[in-house]
């Protein structure tokens, strides 16, 4: 069974559960022989120490310029996505990185960055309920699913706000490795899947 790499984008004012929830799901997932299924790392927008929502300080594993390959890219949300929508170099990096991934995932307002990169054009997607209008403003062609925890378009999966990223991560885990492994991971976490 292939061990996939998962890269989680980190930036100032990232929502903690947006990255920590998926990090937990993917980092503890093991196959039935108890071998890890994913190699999870954090990728920073800048080379300085980052400050997540509510003041949590984070040091990422590497800078985005150091990422040469990844199977799964996760773009979390938080208030920090608002200024990053105007960060052309980062938006280009997201687009380029998506081209090499098997899957690109967003949590919460991470969808704004995917939309700005043109990755959600003419597709269904979701985001945090407070950002539906902003997502539509960035790309009016997006079919916004306002009542879905996550939306799977094949190679791109978006999720609603904050805790929905955990549900999306379990969905992706089951998509890649089956229900038995997803349920085993959820049981270990004492998490009730939706």
Tokens encoding 60: 């990422």
Q: Which CATH architecture has domain 4-189?
A: 3-Layer(aba) Sandwich (3.40)
* pTM (two decimals): 0.96
Work out the pLDDT band at 1, boundaries 50, 70, 90: low
No. of helices (H) and no. of strands (E), the chain: 7, 11
For residue 68, give both structure tokens: 């040469």
Residue-wise pLDDT for 77-92, tens only, equals: 999 999 999 999 999 9
């Amino acid at each position: 069974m292939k061990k996939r790499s998962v890269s989680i984008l980190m930036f100032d004012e990232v929502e903690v559960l947006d990255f920590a929830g998926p990090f937990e799901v993917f980092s503890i997932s093991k196959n039935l022989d108890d071998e890890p299924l994913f190699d999870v790392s954090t990728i920073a927008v800048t080379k300085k120490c980052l400050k997540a929502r509510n003041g949590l300080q984070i040091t990422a594993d590497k800078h985005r310029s150091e990422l040469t390959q990844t199977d799964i890219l996760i773009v979390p949300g938080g208030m920090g996505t608002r200024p990053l929508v105007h960060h052309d170099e980062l938006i280009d990096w997201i687009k380029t990185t998506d081209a090499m991934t098997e899957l690109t995932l967003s949590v919460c307002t991470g969808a704004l960055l995917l939309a700005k990169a043109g990755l959600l054009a003419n597709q269904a997607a979701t985001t945090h309920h407070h950002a539906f209008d902003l997502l539509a403003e960035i790309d009016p062609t997006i079919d916004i699913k306002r009542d879905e925890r996550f939306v799977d378009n094949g190679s791109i999966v978006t999720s609603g706000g904050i805790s929905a990223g955990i549900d999306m991560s379990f969905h992706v885990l089951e998509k890649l490795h089956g229900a038995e492994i997803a349920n085993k991971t959820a049981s270990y976490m004492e998490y009730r899947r939706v």
